[in-house]
Amino acid sequence: MKFYSKNMSKTLDIILNIIIALGLVITAKIYYSIFLQIRNNSSISSAQTIGMILILTIGIISTFLIVFDLKKIIKTIIKSNPFVLSNVKSLYKISVECFIITGCYLANILFNFKNHAYRFIYIDSNFIHTDTEPIIFFLAGIFILVLAAVFKEAIKYKEENDYTI
């Protein structure tokens, strides 16, 4: 079982490295396209531009921080010691980052309320779309908080077990 867990953890670590690399490329493309759009579209005010870039930057930073925290957790799994306090701290940080992303989505909805009507789910000729990202990240944040509490309790049980002869 340990061998399987280590292999899976190493695979997840590689996937997270790929996500970081792709994330950097996609982030660069997003900022490049935003600046091109701003330069070519005079209807966007400077306040909207600053707000949009600020919200986007906070969301992107939070996303990268989540991936880095996941990498920290994966390293403890590879070392066969996942029930450590650093993982609880990482899970708490991930939950806060999910709540920050929720706030970014809500701010984006408020900023663009005139330009884009919020729709729970809608279908067009290309795809099924949803505007439920704030709900998804909020629920993920709550789930991860619960997971952190479970990990914290597991650490207590592990420490009690370690001291028992």
Query: Which among 52, 64, 74, 72 has a CA at the least distance from the CA of 26?
Result: 64
CA distance 111 to 114: 8
* pLDDT tens sequence for the chain (165 residues): 455 667 888 899 999 999 999 999 999 999 888 877 777 776 667 777 788 889 999 999 999 999 999 999 999 988 888 999 999 999 999 999 999 999 999 998 888 767 666 677 778 888 887 788 999 999 999 999 999 999 999 999 988 888 876
Q: Can you say whether the dihedral through the CA atoms of 21, 59, 133, 149 is positive or negative?
A: positive
pTM: 0.84
